[in-house]
Chains A and B, each alone.
Chain A
Amino acid sequence: MIDMHIQLTSQAYCKMLLHTAKYPHCAVNGLLVAEKTKEKKKDGHGGPVLCVDCVPLFHGTLALAPMLEVALTLIDSWCKENNYVIVGYYQANEQTQDSRPNQVAQKVAARISENFNEAVIVMVDSSRLTMSCFEPIIFIYDHVENKWKNREVTTDAFEDWNEAQTITSALLVGRSYENLIDFDNHLDDLRNDWTNPAINKSVLDLC
């Protein structure tokens, strides 16, 4: 059994949480991207896959196909331009007490797996979302023996947990989520940039 270590940068983690915080009454989802590495070790024991960024996709109704296809295609192109690869999918459910990956999550993850073998599902536990971010509030699911299995999340899942915690907390308190753009916002107005350069800059400034 391949034990793939996935690590999240502060930028990836905080944008996921900002997306969740922006739409507390909705389900939200998005994609996780990593830099494409040249060495592909056959035995699967390379270094951890570093998720450098995430792209927030939709809020509200997640279960419709056409815009999801558009988003996947556009973001795939963007990835190629930037030497990224889509390595995972995140979702926060509408029901805060339910943080299991549903059919939508599994379908999208299966699609991502076509391109990246060890795609993960990251579920955000919005019931534990706090301003202080004192603990990681994600569950990471790997596809093992045809099932999605929950793996224990420690601070090892982060490139630098303290940094991630500080930055995410600061941005939540500062209400940066009001300016977070997801793909839905982009479809409402093409000028809305789903790469979120302004928030990326805020993250960099806080590093």
Chain B
Amino acid sequence: MASLSEMYDVGWEEMRDKLRKWREDNCRNSEQIVDVGEELISEHSSKLGDDIWIIYEQVMIAALDCSRDDLALTCLQELRKQFPDSHRVKRLTGMRLEALERYDDANKHYDAILQEDPTNTAARKRKISILRAQGKSTEAIRELNEYLEQFVGDQEAWHELSELYINEHDYGKAAFCLEELMMTNPHNHLYCEQYAEVKYTQGGMENLELARKYFAQALRLNNRNMRALFGLYMSASHIAASPKVSAKVKKDNIKYAAWAAAQINRAYKVSIEMSYLDSTFHCFYSFFFFIGY
């Protein structure tokens, strides 16, 4: 069977760079990582230099995702040989146990790490992930809250907590987590947009207006965020359509909605031109009349 490099005419450097990009973007395209990484490791390991260790780690985690325990074990063993006492490698051992659903063993393993190093955040977060994997949302939420009292700057943890709250339909608490994230990352349009979605979901006029404001803010930070654009249109339309608002508020929101509609229109036109898509998109134009104003 042809190798990836033969099939797609890519050199090992391109494969290495692809892996790096996926690492930096934190992509979970595990099957692709396994395909590229496995070939890189088996054919070109000598050329990779010190990069090989981080590649072993990346490929190992992707292999776990794809039930490729053979590959995961190979990578793990290389890492263990090179870094025999590393807690970072021990965490990978724990993750393998998790992938095999040996949660009790995994927990014991992480507890041992925490005995040696009580500040080891990675081990604590893995324990919380186990709770989530087992469907124990309430415990996961409780542990994560305790963790965040100590490690208040851990953004990944705040985001995980917001997700857990959303899944439990506890939108108020999810909003609080996203507020923390927005405070420490004022330029991140994604947090703004997610916060707006949570507020919109909570419902009520106050929350709708907040949602509209934060969708608008997300757009200021990134004018190509389509969710923010749609969200602005939806929230402004709902506000305008409400019988409870003043004439001025109604007028303003109609203006906002119209502006958003025009931007959405333009965005679709551009994308259709770029891709020669058929008329599935012209159904969009009737979209604007659904609110009925």
Contact = CB atoms under 8 A, between A and B. Distances in A.
B271 A191 contact: yes
Contacts of B227: 66-67, 187
Interface in A186-205: 187-191, 193, 195, 197
Contacts of B103: none
Contacts of B163: 60-61
Classify chain B's interface size: 20 to 34
A78 interface: yes
Classify chain A's interface size: 20 to 34
B283 A74 contact: yes
Given A61-B167, A63-B167, A73 B226 contact: no
A81 to B, nearest CB: 5
Nearest to B232: A66
Nearest to B201: A65
B287 A191 contact: no
Interface in A89-142: 94-95, 97-98, 103
B234 A66 contact: yes
B31 A74 contact: no
Given A73-B290, A74-B284, A190-B271, A64 B201 contact: yes
Interface in A39-80: 60-61, 63-67, 69-70, 73-74, 77-78, 80
B151 interface: no
B197 A64 contact: yes
A25 interface: yes
B275 A191 contact: yes
Q: Among the interface residues A74, A80, A95, A188, which one has the most CB atoms of the partner chain B within 10 A?
A: A74
B84 to A, nearest CB: 31
Q: Among the interface residues B196, B278, B283, which one has the most CB atoms of the partner chain A within 10 A?
A: B283
A175 interface: yes
A65 B200 contact: yes
Contacts of B275: 191
A24 B267 CA distance: 31
A203 to B, nearest CB: 17
Contacts of A81: 283
Given A74-B287, A191-B274, A66 B268 contact: no
Given A63-B166, A97-B135, 19 more contacts: A61-B166, A66-B227, A67-B197, A67-B231, A74-B284, A77-B283, A77-B286, A78-B283, A80-B283, A80-B286, A81-B283, A178-B31, A187-B227, A188-B226, A189-B271, A190-B226, A190-B267, A191-B274, A191-B277
21 contacts: A60-B163, A61-B166, A64-B166, A64-B201, A65-B200, A65-B201, A65-B203, A66-B211, A67-B197, A73-B290, A74-B284, A77-B286, A80-B286, A95-B135, A103-B169, A187-B227, A189-B271, A191-B271, A191-B274, A191-B277, A197-B278
